Structure 1
Amino acid sequence: MTRWARRPRSDEGSAAIEAAIIVPALIMFLCMAIAGGRIVTSGAKIDSAAEDAAREASIHRTAAAAQSAARAAAAESLNGQGITCASTSVSINTGGLSVPVGQVGTVTVTVACTVHLSDLLLPGMPGAKTLTSTATSVVDQYRQRGDS
Protein backbone atom coordinates (compact mmCIF):
# COMPACT_ATOMS: atom_id res chain seq x y z
CA MET A 1 0.00 0.00 0.00
CA THR A 2 1.44 3.26 -1.11
CA ARG A 3 0.83 6.26 0.94
CA TRP A 4 0.76 9.56 -0.62
CA ALA A 5 2.41 12.12 1.52
CA ARG A 6 0.33 15.19 1.98
CA ARG A 7 2.30 18.23 1.19
CA PRO A 8 1.35 21.59 2.61
CA ARG A 9 -0.19 23.95 0.07
CA SER A 10 2.18 26.55 -1.26
CA ASP A 11 1.30 30.23 -1.63
CA GLU A 12 3.95 31.07 -4.21
CA GLY A 13 1.63 32.91 -6.62
CA SER A 14 -0.24 34.98 -4.06
CA ALA A 15 2.18 37.93 -4.17
CA ALA A 16 1.71 38.28 -7.92
CA ILE A 17 -2.06 38.19 -7.58
CA GLU A 18 -1.99 40.81 -4.81
CA ALA A 19 0.23 43.03 -6.94
CA ALA A 20 -2.10 42.63 -9.93
CA ILE A 21 -4.99 43.84 -7.78
CA ILE A 22 -3.26 46.64 -5.84
CA VAL A 23 -0.96 48.24 -8.47
CA PRO A 24 -3.71 49.51 -10.84
CA ALA A 25 -5.56 51.08 -7.91
CA LEU A 26 -2.37 52.80 -6.71
CA ILE A 27 -1.64 54.09 -10.21
CA MET A 28 -5.18 55.48 -10.51
CA PHE A 29 -4.85 57.19 -7.12
CA LEU A 30 -1.51 58.71 -8.15
CA CYS A 31 -3.01 60.00 -11.44
CA MET A 32 -5.95 61.56 -9.56
CA ALA A 33 -3.56 63.27 -7.13
CA ILE A 34 -1.51 64.68 -10.00
CA ALA A 35 -4.70 65.84 -11.78
CA GLY A 36 -5.92 67.60 -8.64
CA GLY A 37 -2.56 69.30 -8.22
CA ARG A 38 -2.59 70.52 -11.80
CA ILE A 39 -6.10 71.98 -11.40
CA VAL A 40 -5.09 73.77 -8.18
CA THR A 41 -1.93 75.14 -9.82
CA SER A 42 -3.92 76.41 -12.81
CA GLY A 43 -6.40 78.06 -10.43
CA ALA A 44 -3.52 79.85 -8.71
CA LYS A 45 -2.28 81.12 -12.07
CA ILE A 46 -5.74 82.50 -12.85
CA ASP A 47 -5.81 84.13 -9.39
CA SER A 48 -2.54 85.81 -10.28
CA ALA A 49 -3.94 87.03 -13.61
CA ALA A 50 -6.95 88.57 -11.82
CA GLU A 51 -4.66 90.31 -9.32
CA ASP A 52 -2.47 91.67 -12.12
CA ALA A 53 -5.52 92.96 -14.00
CA ALA A 54 -7.02 94.60 -10.89
CA ARG A 55 -3.75 96.35 -10.04
CA GLU A 56 -3.32 97.54 -13.60
CA ALA A 57 -6.89 98.91 -13.69
CA SER A 58 -6.49 100.73 -10.36
CA ILE A 59 -3.57 102.88 -11.55
CA HIS A 60 -5.43 104.40 -14.51
CA ARG A 61 -7.41 107.63 -14.26
CA THR A 62 -10.40 106.84 -16.48
CA ALA A 63 -12.74 103.87 -16.58
CA ALA A 64 -12.16 103.29 -20.31
CA ALA A 65 -8.38 103.23 -19.92
CA ALA A 66 -8.69 101.01 -16.85
CA GLN A 67 -10.87 98.49 -18.66
CA SER A 68 -8.62 98.15 -21.68
CA ALA A 69 -5.50 97.95 -19.48
CA ALA A 70 -7.08 95.28 -17.26
CA ARG A 71 -8.06 93.13 -20.25
CA ALA A 72 -4.57 93.41 -21.70
CA ALA A 73 -2.94 92.62 -18.33
CA ALA A 74 -5.13 89.54 -17.81
CA ALA A 75 -4.38 88.21 -21.30
CA GLU A 76 -0.65 88.86 -20.91
CA SER A 77 -0.56 87.22 -17.49
CA LEU A 78 -2.42 84.11 -18.67
CA ASN A 79 -0.22 83.74 -21.75
CA GLY A 80 2.95 84.36 -19.76
CA GLN A 81 2.07 81.63 -17.28
CA GLY A 82 1.32 79.03 -19.94
CA ILE A 83 -2.46 78.82 -19.52
CA THR A 84 -4.33 78.17 -22.78
CA CYS A 85 -7.95 79.23 -22.39
CA ALA A 86 -10.63 77.98 -24.78
CA SER A 87 -12.59 81.08 -23.78
CA THR A 88 -11.72 83.98 -21.51
CA SER A 89 -14.02 86.44 -19.80
CA VAL A 90 -12.75 89.54 -17.99
CA SER A 91 -15.31 91.54 -16.02
CA ILE A 92 -14.18 94.89 -14.58
CA ASN A 93 -15.99 97.07 -12.05
CA THR A 94 -14.38 100.52 -12.21
CA GLY A 95 -16.83 102.25 -9.87
CA GLY A 96 -13.98 103.20 -7.54
CA LEU A 97 -12.51 105.51 -10.17
CA SER A 98 -15.56 107.80 -10.00
CA VAL A 99 -15.45 108.52 -6.25
CA PRO A 100 -14.25 112.00 -5.27
CA VAL A 101 -10.58 112.60 -4.51
CA GLY A 102 -9.92 111.97 -0.83
CA GLN A 103 -12.25 108.97 -0.63
CA VAL A 104 -11.13 105.38 -1.01
CA GLY A 105 -12.37 103.52 -4.06
CA THR A 106 -11.74 100.03 -5.34
CA VAL A 107 -11.55 98.32 -8.70
CA THR A 108 -12.70 94.70 -8.92
CA VAL A 109 -11.76 92.33 -11.74
CA THR A 110 -13.16 88.84 -12.34
CA VAL A 111 -11.29 86.56 -14.73
CA ALA A 112 -12.97 83.38 -15.99
CA CYS A 113 -10.97 80.94 -18.08
CA THR A 114 -12.34 77.75 -19.62
CA VAL A 115 -9.54 75.23 -20.06
CA HIS A 116 -9.66 71.85 -21.73
CA LEU A 117 -8.91 69.04 -19.29
CA SER A 118 -6.43 67.61 -21.79
CA ASP A 119 -4.31 70.72 -21.13
CA LEU A 120 -4.49 70.24 -17.36
CA LEU A 121 -4.60 66.51 -16.79
CA LEU A 122 -3.66 63.95 -19.38
CA PRO A 123 -3.50 64.31 -23.16
CA GLY A 124 -6.71 63.05 -24.72
CA MET A 125 -8.82 63.66 -21.61
CA PRO A 126 -12.30 64.83 -22.66
CA GLY A 127 -14.15 67.81 -21.23
CA ALA A 128 -13.40 71.30 -20.00
CA LYS A 129 -13.42 73.17 -16.70
CA THR A 130 -14.11 76.86 -16.08
CA LEU A 131 -11.84 78.40 -13.45
CA THR A 132 -12.88 81.80 -12.06
CA SER A 133 -11.05 84.26 -9.84
CA THR A 134 -11.91 87.71 -8.50
CA ALA A 135 -9.44 90.31 -7.23
CA THR A 136 -9.89 93.80 -5.82
CA SER A 137 -7.34 96.62 -5.82
CA VAL A 138 -7.58 99.91 -3.95
CA VAL A 139 -7.47 103.17 -5.90
CA ASP A 140 -5.15 105.79 -4.39
CA GLN A 141 -7.49 108.17 -2.59
CA TYR A 142 -5.36 111.26 -3.26
CA ARG A 143 -4.72 110.65 -6.94
CA GLN A 144 -6.49 112.84 -9.45
CA ARG A 145 -9.11 111.06 -11.48
CA GLY A 146 -10.25 111.73 -15.02
CA ASP A 147 -13.78 111.87 -16.34
CA SER A 148 -15.46 108.47 -16.22
Structure 2
Amino acid sequence: MACWARRVRSDEGSAAIEGSAAIEAAIVLPALIMFLCMAIAGGRIVISGAKIDSAAQDAAREASIHRTAAAAQSAAQSAAAESLKDQGITCASTSVSINTGGLSVPVGQVGTVTATVTCTVNLSDLLLPGVPGTRTLTSTATSVVDRYRQRGD
Protein backbone atom coordinates (compact mmCIF):
# COMPACT_ATOMS: atom_id res chain seq x y z
CA MET A 1 0.00 0.00 0.00
CA ALA A 2 2.87 2.33 0.62
CA CYS A 3 3.96 1.89 -2.95
CA TRP A 4 0.50 2.90 -4.18
CA ALA A 5 0.49 6.00 -1.98
CA ARG A 6 3.83 7.12 -3.39
CA ARG A 7 2.50 6.73 -6.92
CA VAL A 8 -0.60 8.86 -6.15
CA ARG A 9 1.55 11.61 -4.67
CA SER A 10 3.85 11.47 -7.69
CA ASP A 11 0.89 11.81 -10.09
CA GLU A 12 -0.47 14.80 -8.14
CA GLY A 13 2.89 16.56 -8.42
CA SER A 14 3.16 16.03 -12.15
CA ALA A 15 -0.45 17.20 -12.66
CA ALA A 16 0.39 20.42 -10.84
CA ILE A 17 3.45 20.91 -13.04
CA GLU A 18 1.43 20.30 -16.23
CA GLY A 19 -1.24 22.78 -15.08
CA SER A 20 1.45 25.35 -14.36
CA ALA A 21 2.95 24.86 -17.82
CA ALA A 22 -0.45 25.33 -19.43
CA ILE A 23 -1.00 28.59 -17.55
CA GLU A 24 2.47 29.84 -18.54
CA ALA A 25 1.81 28.94 -22.17
CA ALA A 26 -1.55 30.75 -22.05
CA ILE A 27 0.22 33.88 -20.83
CA VAL A 28 3.33 33.76 -23.04
CA LEU A 29 1.83 32.52 -26.32
CA PRO A 30 -0.35 35.61 -27.06
CA ALA A 31 2.63 37.87 -26.39
CA LEU A 32 4.78 35.85 -28.81
CA ILE A 33 2.06 35.98 -31.46
CA MET A 34 1.76 39.77 -31.03
CA PHE A 35 5.54 40.13 -31.37
CA LEU A 36 5.51 38.03 -34.55
CA CYS A 37 2.68 40.10 -36.06
CA MET A 38 4.47 43.35 -35.19
CA ALA A 39 7.62 42.02 -36.88
CA ILE A 40 5.58 41.15 -39.99
CA ALA A 41 3.98 44.62 -40.03
CA GLY A 42 7.38 46.29 -39.65
CA GLY A 43 8.85 44.15 -42.39
CA ARG A 44 5.98 44.94 -44.72
CA ILE A 45 6.43 48.68 -44.12
CA VAL A 46 10.21 48.54 -44.73
CA ILE A 47 9.90 46.44 -47.88
CA SER A 48 7.07 48.62 -49.21
CA GLY A 49 9.14 51.73 -48.53
CA ALA A 50 12.05 50.35 -50.57
CA LYS A 51 9.72 49.48 -53.45
CA ILE A 52 8.18 52.95 -53.37
CA ASP A 53 11.71 54.43 -53.46
CA SER A 54 12.31 52.41 -56.61
CA ALA A 55 9.04 53.62 -58.16
CA ALA A 56 10.02 57.25 -57.45
CA GLN A 57 13.41 56.69 -59.11
CA ASP A 58 11.74 55.13 -62.14
CA ALA A 59 9.27 58.02 -62.39
CA ALA A 60 12.01 60.67 -62.11
CA ARG A 61 14.19 58.99 -64.71
CA GLU A 62 11.31 58.55 -67.13
CA ALA A 63 10.27 62.19 -66.72
CA SER A 64 13.83 63.43 -67.29
CA ILE A 65 14.06 61.93 -70.77
CA HIS A 66 10.98 63.73 -72.14
CA ARG A 67 11.11 67.17 -73.72
CA THR A 68 7.90 68.77 -72.44
CA ALA A 69 6.44 69.03 -68.96
CA ALA A 70 3.14 67.47 -70.05
CA ALA A 71 4.85 64.46 -71.61
CA ALA A 72 7.11 64.13 -68.59
CA GLN A 73 4.16 64.17 -66.17
CA SER A 74 2.27 61.52 -68.13
CA ALA A 75 5.34 59.30 -68.52
CA ALA A 76 6.21 59.58 -64.83
CA GLN A 77 2.67 58.60 -63.78
CA SER A 78 2.82 55.54 -66.02
CA ALA A 79 6.33 54.58 -64.90
CA ALA A 80 5.44 54.80 -61.20
CA ALA A 81 2.24 52.78 -61.64
CA GLU A 82 4.04 50.11 -63.66
CA SER A 83 6.93 49.93 -61.20
CA LEU A 84 4.58 49.46 -58.24
CA LYS A 85 2.60 46.82 -60.14
CA ASP A 86 5.75 44.93 -61.21
CA GLN A 87 6.96 44.86 -57.62
CA GLY A 88 3.66 43.56 -56.28
CA ILE A 89 2.68 46.65 -54.29
CA THR A 90 -1.04 47.35 -54.13
CA CYS A 91 -1.69 50.85 -52.85
CA ALA A 92 -5.04 51.89 -51.42
CA SER A 93 -4.28 55.28 -52.99
CA THR A 94 -1.35 56.52 -55.05
CA SER A 95 -0.21 59.96 -56.10
CA VAL A 96 2.73 61.02 -58.23
CA SER A 97 3.86 64.64 -58.43
CA ILE A 98 6.60 65.84 -60.73
CA ASN A 99 8.66 69.02 -60.61
CA THR A 100 9.68 69.55 -64.23
CA GLY A 101 11.44 72.88 -63.78
CA GLY A 102 14.68 71.37 -65.04
CA LEU A 103 13.18 70.81 -68.48
CA SER A 104 13.01 74.56 -69.09
CA VAL A 105 16.64 75.45 -68.34
CA PRO A 106 18.71 76.49 -71.37
CA VAL A 107 20.69 73.86 -73.28
CA GLY A 108 24.16 73.52 -71.80
CA GLN A 109 22.98 74.02 -68.22
CA VAL A 110 22.18 71.21 -65.80
CA GLY A 111 18.53 70.74 -64.94
CA THR A 112 16.83 68.21 -62.72
CA VAL A 113 13.42 66.59 -62.54
CA THR A 114 12.05 65.50 -59.18
CA ALA A 115 9.35 62.87 -58.66
CA THR A 116 7.46 62.30 -55.42
CA VAL A 117 5.45 59.08 -55.09
CA THR A 118 2.98 58.66 -52.24
CA CYS A 119 1.39 55.27 -51.59
CA THR A 120 -1.03 54.23 -48.86
CA VAL A 121 -0.20 50.64 -47.88
CA ASN A 122 -2.96 48.48 -46.42
CA LEU A 123 -2.11 46.74 -43.11
CA SER A 124 -5.63 45.80 -42.01
CA ASP A 125 -5.20 42.21 -43.15
CA LEU A 126 -2.77 41.61 -40.26
CA LEU A 127 -5.65 41.92 -37.75
CA LEU A 128 -3.30 43.21 -35.10
CA PRO A 129 -4.59 45.52 -32.36
CA GLY A 130 -2.71 48.78 -32.20
CA VAL A 131 -1.54 48.65 -35.82
CA PRO A 132 -3.25 51.23 -38.03
CA GLY A 133 -5.28 49.92 -40.95
CA THR A 134 -3.14 51.84 -43.43
CA ARG A 135 0.23 53.54 -43.55
CA THR A 136 1.09 56.31 -46.02
CA LEU A 137 4.63 56.14 -47.38
CA THR A 138 6.27 58.86 -49.47
CA SER A 139 9.47 58.79 -51.48
CA THR A 140 11.19 61.47 -53.56
CA ALA A 141 13.83 60.96 -56.25
CA THR A 142 15.68 63.34 -58.55
CA SER A 143 17.08 62.67 -62.01
CA VAL A 144 19.39 64.88 -64.04
CA VAL A 145 18.27 66.13 -67.45
CA ASP A 146 20.93 65.71 -70.13
CA ARG A 147 22.51 69.16 -70.43
CA TYR A 148 22.99 68.99 -74.21
CA ARG A 149 19.63 67.53 -75.12
CA GLN A 150 17.12 69.64 -77.00
CA ARG A 151 14.41 71.07 -74.74
CA GLY A 152 10.69 71.30 -75.48
CA ASP A 153 8.60 74.41 -75.75
The answer as to 2:33 corresponding to 1:27 is yes
- Spell out the pairing of 1:44-123 with structure 2 (5 A cutoff): 44-118=50-124, 121=126
Q: How many matched pairs? A: 139
**Structure 2 residue 144 is matched with structure 1 residue 138:** yes
Structure 1 segment 3-18 matched on structure 2, within 5 A: 10=13, 12=17, 13-18=19-24
Three-state SS of the structure 2 residue aligned to 1:112 is strand
Q: How far apart, in 1, do the equivalents of 2:37 and 2:27 lie?
A: 17
Residue deviations 1:3-46 (CA, integer Å, cap 9, x gap): xxxx7994513222222211111111011101110111111111
Structure with more of its chain in helix, by fraction? 2
Q: Which runs of 5+ in 2 are unaligned?
A: 1-8
Q: CA deviation at 1:122?
A: 5.1
Displacement of 1:115: 2.7
Q: Which runs of 4+ in 1 moved over 6 A?
A: none
Within 5 A, what are the aligned runs for 1:123-134?
A: 127-134=133-140
CA distance in 1, matches of 2:33, 2:123: 19
TM-score with structure 1 setting the length: 0.84
SS in 2 for 1:82: coil
Residues of 2 paired with 1:58 and 1:105: CA distance?
Answer: 9
CA apart distance, 1:100: 1.0
2:105, 2:127 → 1: CA distance?
A: 48
AA aligned to 1:91 is S
Q: In the alignment, what sits opposite 2:5?
A: none
TM-score (norm 2): 0.81
> Which residue does the alignment assign to 2:48?
42
Letter in 2 for 1:93: N
SS for the counterpart of 1:102 is coil
- The alpha carbon displacement at 1:69 in A equals 0.6
Shift of 1:126: 6.9
Taking every aligned residue pair, what percent have the same amino acid on both sides? 85
Structure 1: 5+ residue stretches without partners: 1-6
